[in-house]
A and B are shown apart, each in its own frame.
Chain A
């Protein structure tokens, strides 16, 4: 598995061959608060870079989760749909949102590194 890359919309991506795993960052969960509902995409759905791919809701509000990378969904994580609270406990591990077969590795390469993302969060406090 490759190193994690990060988007400005607070998603993370890791790459295994041409299959990417996408989730939301710890920073995102801290902004959201308690996650109480998750909707993940079904396998086979095509998503565009920065297109809406999943939904996450906290007690406060509903937010869209965007795919930082284009491709075709291979799996949505049903476990987090059944237990939305797990997104708060392990957002960058077991509580990934979806996997997709990517078209263009360049999209992955252009995302932020961990250090760049941390700096981005500091400079853009919500």
Chain B
């Protein structure tokens, strides 16, 4: 398959981006400042991220659309208000996570933001449950820009009046340059911020404005350190089709009503796990020293039994220490439990830690 580029590709190039192949796209991993500076400027000021590789999937239909989607998504879509968003998943028959996503109720139906690497398969999986009269479109004419950091609201409000009134995990349509764009208050960094869905023809103008307000471009490298500090999962690493929401410590994302009534893929299995607990569970991990426990690092108990593995690990610039997430046998999942991490054949001490590693309050 040919490598794809977002509408901002040349813009990134001019900004000094280093590119890497990611989910079939050439995406900036970092710019001139480097990962640590990009990370810190997002936490202290604001940064923008081109996440246009992600799928913006629009669905339209009547009440039956809700029934169809609820078969594969365990959110309470029936009671989701217009312009409100939920974090949820697509589940397979065994309750495994096909993808994690943000679903927003629109006037005519729903918009689902899908991971770039999964979007084609996701649409196949969702389509199995759709009726003929349900309309759907993966809109490739739209870019998606995340603006994240404490100054985001002040900067975006000047350009698009009204966005400051959005609460966390809600959105609305706004006017910009004579066209409609959709803005949600959400993100993937643990900071206050927005995701802006904007046509490919207008996106450069938006970025010009952000840069004139000293908002820095942020690459995938810092996106990863930011989301890991915030305790957020990365699909394909912390989540996959063999892991269910209970193991992933994401049972909070299954709507209460849906947990009781079910009617979605894998419910039997998930119901059982909700009642009895899972064998393994996702936890936060803090190595004792400076050693970085990266993906696939084996985890051992203090008496040298193998108890799990790391799924994401890096250095957290705001925590100023290495941070990781991984899966351990549930009896070792209590915060504070001493563990060992095998890095390059040597065992290093560490502890099960609370998530997130870095806390910030969202605007509610």
Interface of A with B (CB < 8 Å)? 33-34, 36-37, 39, 55, 57-60, 62, 81, 84
B290 CB–A CB distance under 8 Å: yes
Give bound CA distance, A14 to B344, whole Å.
28
CB <8 Å contact, A57 and B34: no
Tell me which residues from 28 to 75 in chain B have a Cβ below 8 Å from any Cβ of chain A. Answer: 29-30, 34-37
26 contacts between A and B (CB under 8 A): A33-B30, A33-B35, A33-B221, A34-B35, A34-B36, A36-B36, A36-B290, A36-B315, A37-B290, A37-B291, A37-B292, A37-B315, A39-B291, A55-B344, A57-B292, A57-B315, A58-B35, A59-B36, A59-B317, A60-B29, A60-B35, A60-B221, A62-B294, A62-B344, A81-B290, A84-B290
| A-B residue pair count with CB separations less than 8 angstroms | 39
Give bound CA distance, A36 to B36, whole Å.
10
List A contacts of B344 (CB < 8 A). Answer: 55, 62
CB <8 Å contact, A36 and B221: no
Give bound CA distance, A110 to B180, whole Å.
66
List A contacts of B221 (CB < 8 A). Answer: 33, 59-60
For chain B, the count of residues having a C-beta within 8 Å of the partner chain is 17
Given contact pairs A59-B314, A60-B29, A60-B221, A33 touches B290 in the complex (Cβ within 8 A): no
Min distance, Cβ B151 to any Cβ of chain A, angstroms: 23
List A contacts of B294 (CB < 8 A). Answer: 62
B138-172: CB near A (< 8 Å → 1, else 0) gives 00000000000000000000000000000000000
List B contacts of A81 (CB < 8 A). Answer: 290
List A contacts of B29 (CB < 8 A). Answer: 60
Interface of B with A (CB < 8 Å)? 29-30, 34-37, 221, 225, 290-292, 294, 314-315, 317, 322, 344
Min distance, Cβ B317 to any Cβ of chain A, angstroms: 8
Given contact pairs A59-B225, A59-B314, A36 touches B34 in the complex (Cβ within 8 A): no
